[in-house]
Structures are given as C-alpha cells and as structure tokens.
A and B are shown apart, each in its own frame.
Chain A
Amino acid sequence: MYLLNNRCCVAAALIITLVFIMVDNTAALEHNPGRPWYIPDLISVQTAGYIGYAAGGIGYLSFHRFWESTLFYGYVPEEIGGREIHTMSWKNSIYPIRISLGDICEISPLYLGATFLFALDKSVHWQYSTDCPDWYYPPTGFHGALNFGIQVLIRSRLLEVIHGFYAEITMLDTYMKAYFWDDHEHLHFNDCATLALGYKIIF
C-alpha cells in the first residue's frame, strides 16, 4: 500500500509538472518564443543534498521562473560513499521572493522545494519478501525530501544566458520523522539535514 501510495503521488506530481511545462514555459517565452515546450530551459549540477556527490540534470521553468522542475542523475563513487551509488532525483522548487540587485543580478533569499529520490539499484528494496505484508515497511528505494535555500542569478550578456548559484538545506523523510515526531529532544536540526550546493545555467 505504501508503494502504491508513493507511486500515485509521484504519478500525480509528474502529470502536474507536464501540465505546468506545457501551459507556461517561461524560458521559451522569454528567450525563444519559437522553442518547443519540451526543450529544457536549464541545465543544473549539484553536490550533496542526498542526490549525489555529483549530480547533473535538466529542468523546466514556469510562471516567470516562479516554479522550477529538474530531473537529476546522481552518482556517488565508492571512495566517497563506501559503495557506488546511482540515483535519479526529481526536484521541484518555487521561488516566492525575488530581489533585484542591479540589472544583472537577482537573489531569491528563500525558495522552497520537494525532491523525490529513487535508488537505481535492485539491492535496495522496493518490495520485500513476498511473505512480507506490503504495509510493513515503506519502500526504501524511494525517499522524499523537503528543502529550502537561497539562489543567486547573474545574467551573462556575453553568452546570452543566466547563471544560477544556490545553496540549500535538505531534510530526508526518514530524518524528518526522527526529528519532528520521534525524538525532538535528542536530535538537533543539523543532525537531520544536509547542505547542498549547486549551479545552473538557464538558456
């Protein structure tokens, strides 16, 4: 049931994302009105935040960059993670506050987001023994995370693109439960959250 619920949530979010991209593709409207809706608006790289030692992805912007959706592939080498890890992450963020600093820079002092993380490894259980009731564990090959952060966008006149730098704090669902529900007294916020740093180029 957990797996079914999670799949339904992801499917619903995916449909909403596609609708958003089709209804309002900001970058395409801004920079290239003739660009088809399915061509990505940005390329992003990120380290940490649970999505990989090195993660790269493509993303879409909608509603005048108020909303952003990026699909990442993440990799952790064995030397760093104890084993080689491959993940796919789907990250959605909204930027409710944007402050202009001159005409080439814009700061989003607080953006909010949610990430769905999928382990690309069969040995991470999606389902357990057939004898195990499906309600017994949530699927561990899938995790959700919430994040908030700050982003700085700088326009490059030379390259006709926008460079974005961001830092965010991310909290995994398991750690969120531990911190908010299970033991708020012992655990500290920084025990349960991680920093992520990233760069994106909007074209």
Chain B
Amino acid sequence: MNKKNLNSHILLTNADRPLNRKQFLRNLGYSALASMPALLLPGCYFDLEYSPYMTNVDYENLNAGNLEKIAALEAGREYGNTYRFGLISDTHHFYTETKKVIGIFNSRSDLDFVVIIGDTTNQGLLREFNWGYDVIKKLKYPYINIIGNHDCLDYGIEIFEKMYGPLNFSFSFLGTEFICFHNNNWESSEPDYGWLAQKASSSTAAHRVLFAHIDNSGCAFNRFSQSQVDTFNNIISEYFDCAIHGHAHENSKEDMVNGVPRYQIGSPGYGHYMVVTFNNGIFEVERCTF
C-alpha cells in the first residue's frame, strides 16, 4: 500500500488543499462547538478523582466527636444503670443492607450508642471510607468505628487515623470501660498486646468489654501464633467481662474462652447485627437477623 492509498483511510492526512484563514477559523469554530458540550457536560455529573490512593479526608476525628456525645449521655444517670448499645460489623459494600440495620436501630428509642466493629471498606480506599460514612452518618445515635483488616489495605490505616482517630483507644460509659483494640496483624504490624494489658490493668471500672475486629482465639486462617493466642486469651480472662469481635460475617453463639464469653457479630450483608444490654451487672446479648 503506497502512502496515497493509506492516507485515503485517514481523515486528517488527506487534506492536500491548503486552507485559507477564514476556512481554518470556521472549521475550528465548528469543532469547538461540536466538542465542547461533550467535553464539559460530564464535569457537572462526575468528580475528578486523581488517584485511588488519596488520603485527604473530608471528615476528621469522627470517633472523638461521637465519644463526647456518648459521655454527655451519662448525665443524670448512675453507674450500674441499665444501658444498651447496637453492634454492626463488616459492612463492606453492603450499603443497602447496612441502611436496613440503621433503619432498625433508628426505629428504636432504647439504644445509647452503636459500635461498628470494623471493615467498612473492601480495600481501604478513601472513596470506600466515604461511601461507608455516607451510610453510617444516618444513625441517630452516636457511634464509634473500630478498624478492621480490610480497612488496613492500601493507605487505609492512614485514612482511618485521620477520619476516625487512634486505632487503639478506650472510653467509659456508666461504669464500664470499653477498650477498642486493633489486632489486624497480617495487614499491619504485631498487635500491641502491651498496650492492651496496660490499659485493662490500669482501668478502675467495675466492668470491662473488649472490642477487636478479629477473634484470635479461633486462629482464623492461622493468623496468630500460639504465643499470641495465649497472650490475648490471658489478658481477656484476667481483665474483661466479655469480648466482642467481627470478621466472620455471621453471628456466633457464645463461645467461652477461659470462662469469659466471646461473641462474633455477623455482617448486615448476611442479615446479621446484635444488641447488647447491660442489666444488673450482666451483659445480655441479643443476636438479631433481618
């Protein structure tokens, strides 16, 4: 194929006729008129996302703000009074189902707060954190979010720390110390069992509850060494009334480890959530499905 034949297939290279200035400007105008709407209209509907790895959060320290609201709920109530909280975990991309659970919680008037036990994302991407937040912000109750293994992927830890706050933290409510522990070892570093033991041992609360995304007594997928499992179990049996986990996606039956009950909360994606009531010094767990 010689150059002339080849060029007959190619629109922009077969213009052998010279253009005068008027023709050139006319063609340029036509081109601009034809292309501008198609180029600019999508800008009204779509955002510009420069990278999936961005970490510039729109909301900061959400847990801290909610902990202030939880603390305010103690006003006028005495330690040991009955209280109740809802539990969700592993919401991942199950937004429709999570909205149903939130609707159920919002239709009740007897909850004090809600705890989300991690995995509000699949790959720890900023956009996923924002999608999750857009759903859980509809809760009428104050809530706290704990980091899950999927939230640690990519720059998820950095985003979580900016958006929700520290990975390990604690708060107290009506005489119970709730300790929230980051134990996603494959996706991060060795869990800080020293911090957990120190926090639990220094607590003067009458009761202690542990929230951690992964129940490492079960050695899920051999995540934890026997030494880590023993350390975790010993801390829990020594200091805690009960431990509550997510990760498994299905509500579990009560699992007693060294005499301390352990619970796994299922995912809204599987129609599961839980409600815990503290009444007369006992934690009563209601495993719910929808």
Q: Number of B interface residues at 8 Å Cβ cutoff, please give it.
A: 67
Cβ of A74 within 8 Å of any chain B Cβ, yes or no, is yes
> Who on chain A is nearest to B37 by CB?
A150
How far is it, in angstroms, between the C-alpha of A191 and the C-alpha of B130 when the chains are bound?
10
Considering the complex, which residues of chain B in the window 115-148 have a beta carbon less than 8 Å from any beta carbon of chain A?
Answer: 122-128, 131, 135
Asked, given contacts A194-B49, A195-B46, whether A30 binds B123 with beta carbons under 8 Å apart, the answer is no
Encoded as 1 (CB less than 8 Å from any B CB) or 0, chain A from 98 to 115 comes to: 101111111101000000
> Are A50 and B187 within 8 A (Cβ)?
no
* Chain A neighbourhood of B72, CB < 8 A: none
> Are A194 and B14 within 8 A (Cβ)?
no
How far is it, in angstroms, between the C-alpha of A50 and the C-alpha of B135 when the chains are bound?
24
Q: Number of A interface residues at 8 Å Cβ cutoff, please give it.
A: 75
* Chain B neighbourhood of A53, CB < 8 A: 50-51
> Are A85 and B153 within 8 A (Cβ)?
no
* Chain B neighbourhood of A76, CB < 8 A: 50-51, 53-54
> Who on chain A is nearest to B9 by CB?
A64
> Are A133 and B221 within 8 A (Cβ)?
yes
Considering the complex, which residues of chain A in the window 77-115 have a beta carbon less than 8 Å from any beta carbon of chain B?
Answer: 80-83, 85, 87, 98, 100-107, 109
How far is it, in angstroms, between the C-alpha of A109 and the C-alpha of B277 when the chains are bound?
60
* Chain B neighbourhood of A185, CB < 8 A: 95-96
> Who on chain A is nearest to B43 by CB?
A195
Cβ of B19 within 8 Å of any chain A Cβ, yes or no, is yes
Encoded as 1 (CB less than 8 Å from any B CB) or 0, chain A from 162 to 195 comes to: 1001110100101101100011011100110111
B1 → A minimal CB distance (Å): 9
* Chain A neighbourhood of B162, CB < 8 A: 82
How far is it, in angstroms, between the C-alpha of A82 and the C-alpha of B155 when the chains are bound?
11
Asked, given contacts A51-B51, A174-B123, whether A167 binds B42 with beta carbons under 8 Å apart, the answer is yes
B119 → A minimal CB distance (Å): 13
Asked, given contacts A65-B10, A106-B11, A183-B95, whether A152 binds B31 with beta carbons under 8 Å apart, the answer is yes
* Chain A neighbourhood of B43, CB < 8 A: 167, 195
A145 → B minimal CB distance (Å): 9
Q: Would you call the interface of chain A mostly helix, strand, loop, or mixed? A: mixed
Cβ of A157 within 8 Å of any chain B Cβ, yes or no, is yes
> Are A178 and B93 within 8 A (Cβ)?
yes
CB contact between A123 and one of B9, B27, B45, B155 (< 8 Å): that residue: B155
B104 → A minimal CB distance (Å): 16
> Are A48 and B48 within 8 A (Cβ)?
yes
How far is it, in angstroms, between the C-alpha of A133 and the C-alpha of B220 when the chains are bound?
12
* Chain A neighbourhood of B154, CB < 8 A: 124-125, 140
Cβ of A153 within 8 Å of any chain B Cβ, yes or no, is yes
Cβ of B28 within 8 Å of any chain A Cβ, yes or no, is yes
Considering the complex, which residues of chain B in the window 1-55 have a beta carbon less than 8 Å from any beta carbon of chain A?
Answer: 3, 6-7, 9-15, 17-19, 23-24, 26-28, 30-31, 34-35, 38-40, 42-43, 45-55
- B residues adjacent to A (C-beta < 8 A): 3, 6-7, 9-15, 17-19, 23-24, 26-28, 30-31, 34-35, 38-40, 42-43, 45-57, 92-96, 99, 122-128, 131, 135, 153-155, 158-159, 162, 185-187, 221-223
State the 4 A-B residue pairs at the shortest beta-carbon distance, nearest first: A82-B56, A82-B55, A182-B93, A103-B15
